Amino acid sequence: MQRATVKSLKFLRSSEVGSVRNLSRPKRSCNRTGGVLVLVVLLLTLLLAMVAFAVDMGRVTTMRAELQNVVDAGSLAAQVQFRSNPKDVDAARQAAADYVRINQVGSKLVPTNSIVVETGSWNSLTRTFDNTSLTPNSVRVFARQDNEPYIFGKTLGYNTFGAPAAAISTGAGSTTDIMLTLDLSGSMLYQGRIEALRASAPVFVNVIEQLGNSDQIGVMGLSADPGSFDANAVGGNATLYNSGLHPKNEYHVGVMERRLTTQLSLVRNVLSPTSLRASKYEGWTGTGAALGDTAHYLTYGAEVRSGAKKIIVLMTDGLANRPPDNGPGYARQMATYAANKGITVYTISLGNAADETLNQDIADMTGGKHFLAKGQNASVLTQALTTAFKGIIQDFKSSHLVK
């Protein structure tokens, strides 16, 4: 009897222990549920904070984009005014300010006292704006929109935000001094190249004339040995341009065919078939000398106008071979010279044998562009060269944002 009692007691005790264990499990489940609930609340709070932050940042981004669009358009509006009257600087400034002022940004209009408009000149090589230029062709517009309210930021103590925006445009009102530096070497005899030049170069002059901005154009020939230059054989008024830049005759010099003038009919005379002749100066290609001399003239020539934008259009069909041992290197050296004088050089590679790498480098070094005019007959080359000439005008004459 005692043994049975002991056994039963053991059984009861084990059962009681099991019951205690079973009773403790629900308590653990309740603790876990409470922990998950706290975690969910924290995550929801964090998620709501992130959504609130995203909403406010979205408003900031949208407002800044709206303000940038407005100052961009205001700067271009000034260029439109410049095109109608390049000399009326005040009207151009007013046009930009008026455009910014009447456009809503965010929740309100941009305040007048937050708008600043300046006119000046843009240097494409150094990407700098000069507001002291006497003949401005560029417009810089600055505006700021402040006190735009946050939606959710207020809960963190941030009530309002603001942002600035600026834009610079150039092109339409520019008064330009342009030199055409043209290859008249012996290789221009082949594949209709000289015929294409005779047909296309006057088109360049005609388009500039139609724009009516009182631009000047001149022509420099590429290139001659001053030790053997025969003025009688060349004919006309072509003369050696003695800049003093080149150490020896073998470097060659540029030949001044026509100094800068606003009388563009005189330029067309120089671009006639009788004047544009392949191998006119004995056939060599002194690209560096002609480029350097043209840059020198655009800097120091008596006809050059203070404040005018200075452009060289360099067209060549072959390899720079003067000086004989370093033609391309000297051309790059003279490109650096032009760049230091603030002159932009546009290059055209005519035909299929031009040194495209060199011409691209010259354009890049001076802030210009390189154009290809490829083909193997006069008809194709004429079309390609005309397109290149028009592309150059489009680039430096059209209104466009630069910053």
**Residue length of the chain:** 403
In the predicted structure, residue 276 carries a pLDDT above the cut 50: yes
pLDDT of residue 396: 84
pLDDT of residue 156: 66
- Mean pLDDT of all residues in 145-154: 76
Helix axes 2-84, 89-101, angle to 10 degrees: 150
Rounded CA separation 181/271 (Å): 12
In the predicted structure, residue 337 carries a pLDDT above the cut 90: yes
pLDDT of residue 56: 66
In the predicted structure, residue 240 carries a pLDDT above the cut 90: yes
In this structure, are residues 334 and 358 in contact, taking their beta carbons and an 8 Å threshold? no
Report the SS3 class of residue 40. Answer: helix
Q: Which of 19-28, 86-95, 187-196, 383-392 has the lowest mean pLDDT?
A: 19-28
pLDDT tens, position by position, 181-230: 999 999 999 999 999 999 999 999 999 998 777 899 999 999 999 999 99
Sign of the dihedral defined by the CA atoms of residues 187, 189, 191, 194, in that order: positive
Sign of the dihedral defined by the CA atoms of residues 289, 295, 300, 303, in that order: positive
Q: What is the mean pLDDT of the chain?
A: 86
pLDDT of residue 33: 67
- Mean pLDDT of all residues in 275-282: 93
- Mean pLDDT of all residues in 345-352: 97
pLDDT of residue 107: 80
- Mean pLDDT of all residues in 312-319: 96
Instruction: Give the residue, 331 or 25, on which the prediction is more confident.
Output: 331
- Mean pLDDT of all residues in 264-291: 95
Question: Quick one: pLDDT band at residue 9, thresholds 50, 70, 90?
Answer: very low
- Mean pLDDT of all residues in 174-186: 92
Burial class of 126 by CB neighbour count within 10 A (0 to 12, 13 to 18, 19+): exposed
- Mean pLDDT of all residues in 55-76: 83
> pTM score, two decimals?
0.71
Instruction: Please state, for a pLDDT cut of 90, what percent of the chain lies above it.
Output: 53
CA dist list (Å): 21 to 8, 26, 175, 400: 20, 10, 97, 82
Domains of the chain: 41-170 (no CATH), 176-401 (3.40.50.410)
Most confident of 39-43, 154-158, 207-211, 371-375: 371-375
In this structure, are residues 116 and 133 in contact, taking their beta carbons and an 8 Å threshold? no
- Mean pLDDT of all residues in 279-306: 96
pLDDT of residue 172: 58
pLDDT of residue 52: 59
Q: Which of 74-78, 257-261, 294-298, 350-354 has the lowest mean pLDDT?
A: 74-78
pLDDT of residue 50: 65
Instruction: Give the residue, 28 or 257, on which the prediction is more confident.
Output: 257
pLDDT of residue 299: 97
pLDDT of residue 88: 84
- Mean pLDDT of all residues in 223-247: 92
In the predicted structure, residue 125 carries a pLDDT above the cut 90: no
Most confident of 92-96, 229-233, 327-331: 327-331
Most confident of 91-95, 109-113, 383-387: 383-387
pLDDT of residue 162: 82
In the predicted structure, residue 31 carries a pLDDT above the cut 70: no
